[in-house]
């Protein structure tokens, strides 16, 4: 007696030549692609937010205004020297006048600035990563040296960046559930259509003693296999898209906004299994509900 795997694998209630199969595979693959891509984007955006936060927390900007007969450049240089001696400061450097003018030009336009306009000079401060100084330390040092300066600690920008990162994360989670719901609705519709198309065969199975669970199991296996195939295609496509962003986004602005790493592509691995699970559960529940309400 030979072993025949086909006898133990549930057969298909939908005809193989059914033209809707290809369209269904394509749509599920697209949904799987979008779900994986949103997951990759969420991880990358979270990394970007953390990177920006670390940069802002580890630095401060000081606006130095000239006072008395001292020039603005001299005041900035003195402030940088003062701040460099503060415990917890790794580096303090005065930025040149052109950078300060460029910042002001964003608000007043590209026209040349008046020569006598008292534009503050900027001092960039980098903190020690292990034992950073506080903004209060910087202010005390500047006041002790008699400098007219304002310390910007970037706390406002840090809070906004973290809110943006959290929004991106929750948006990705919401998008995942939305796509999962759309895939489930699609499988439910296809299951109902399949039952209607093969109603004669379902009746024959019932007359032969087959239970509703047996028929539902056949639909479950059918759509789980289709979803696994489509999920594999969608996951591979999303992984390739993520690899493209990683390889060709270097040095571009997209790399700062969406820094995709190779490890992020791992999220595409469970895509076939998740797609198959959603399809199997949806198909089984839909088939049981339809068969239960059938005369």
Q: What is the block-wise mean pLDDT of the chain (295 residues), using blocks of 10 residues?
A: 48 53 87 90 79 71 80 84 87 77 59 62 82 84 85 70 78 86 89 78 72 79 89 92 78 61 86 91 87 71
Side-chain-facing half-sphere of 48: CA atoms under 13 Å: 21
- According to the model, what pLDDT value does residue 8 have? 42
Tokens of 98: 């052109």
Residue 227 CA to chain centroid, in angstroms?
24
C-beta separation of 33 from 234 below 8 A: yes
User: Could you tell me how many helices (H) and strands (E) the chain has, helices first?
Assistant: 10, 4
- According to the model, what pLDDT value does residue 103 have? 60
Using H for helix, E for strand and C for coil, what is the string for 108-149? HCCCCCCCCCCCCEEEEEEECCCCCCCHHHHHHHHHHCCCEE
Contacts of 50 (CB under 8 A, 6+ apart): 165
Contacts of 25 (CB under 8 A, 6+ apart): 226, 229, 230, 233
C-beta separation of 222 from 9 below 8 A: no
Sheet holding 89-94, edge to edge: 89-94, 121-127, 59-65, 148-152
pTM above 0.75, yes or no: no
- According to the model, what pLDDT value does residue 10 have? 47
C-beta separation of 220 from 284 below 8 A: yes
- According to the model, what pLDDT value does residue 136 have? 84
- According to the model, what pLDDT value does residue 7 have? 46
- According to the model, what pLDDT value does residue 155 have? 63
Write down the domain spans for the chain: 17-53+158-293, 59-131
User: What gap in Å lies between CA 167 and CA 115, rounded to an integer?
Assistant: 44
* Residue spans of beta strands (DSSP E) within 17-129: 59-65, 89-94, 121-127
Question: Helix 155-197 to helix 20-57 angle, to the nearest 10 degrees?
Answer: 170
- According to the model, what pLDDT value does residue 30 have? 93
| Residue with the two structure tokens 């199975």 | 205
Side-chain-facing half-sphere of 11: CA atoms under 13 Å: 8
| Residue with the two structure tokens 């008292």 | 118
User: What gap in Å lies between CA 92 and CA 94, rounded to an integer?
Assistant: 7
| Residue with the two structure tokens 């690899």 | 243
């Amino acid at each position: 007696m030979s072993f025949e795997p086909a006898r133990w694998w549930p057969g298909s209630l939908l005809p193989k030549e059914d033209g809707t199969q290809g369209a269904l595979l394509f749509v599920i693959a697209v949904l799987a692609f979008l779900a994986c891509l949103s997951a990759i984007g969420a991880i990358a955006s979270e990394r970007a937010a953390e990177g920006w936060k670390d940069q802002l927390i580890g630095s401060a900007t000081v606006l130095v205004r000239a006072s008395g007969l001292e020039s603005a450049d001299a005041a900035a240089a003195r402030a940088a020297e003062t701040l460099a001696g503060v415990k917890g400061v790794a580096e303090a450097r005065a930025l040149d006048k052109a950078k300060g003018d460029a910042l002001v030009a964003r608000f007043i336009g590209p026209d040349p600035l008046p020569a006598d306009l008292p534009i503050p000079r900027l001092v960039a401060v980098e903190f020690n990563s292990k034992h950073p100084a506080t903004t209060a330390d910087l202010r005390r040092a500047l006041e002790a040296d008699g400098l007219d300066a304002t310390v910007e600690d970037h706390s406002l920008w840090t809070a906004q960046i973290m809110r943006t990162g959290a929004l991106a994360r929750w948006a990705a989670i919401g998008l995942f559930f939305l796509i999962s719901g759309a895939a489930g609705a699609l499988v439910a519709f296809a299951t109902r259509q399949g039952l209607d198309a093969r109603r004669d065969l379902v009746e024959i199975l019932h007359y032969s003693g087959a239970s509703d669970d047996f028929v539902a199991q056949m639909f479950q296996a059918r759509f789980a296999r289709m979803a696994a195939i489509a999920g594999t295609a969608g996951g591979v496509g999303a992984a390739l898209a993520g690899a493209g962003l990683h390889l060709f986004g270097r040095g571009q602005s997209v790399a700062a906004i969406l820094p995709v790493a190779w490890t992020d592509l791992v999220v595409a691995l469970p895509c076939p299994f998740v797609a198959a699970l959603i399809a199997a559960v949806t198909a089984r529940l839909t088939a049981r509900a339809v068969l239960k309400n059938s005369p």
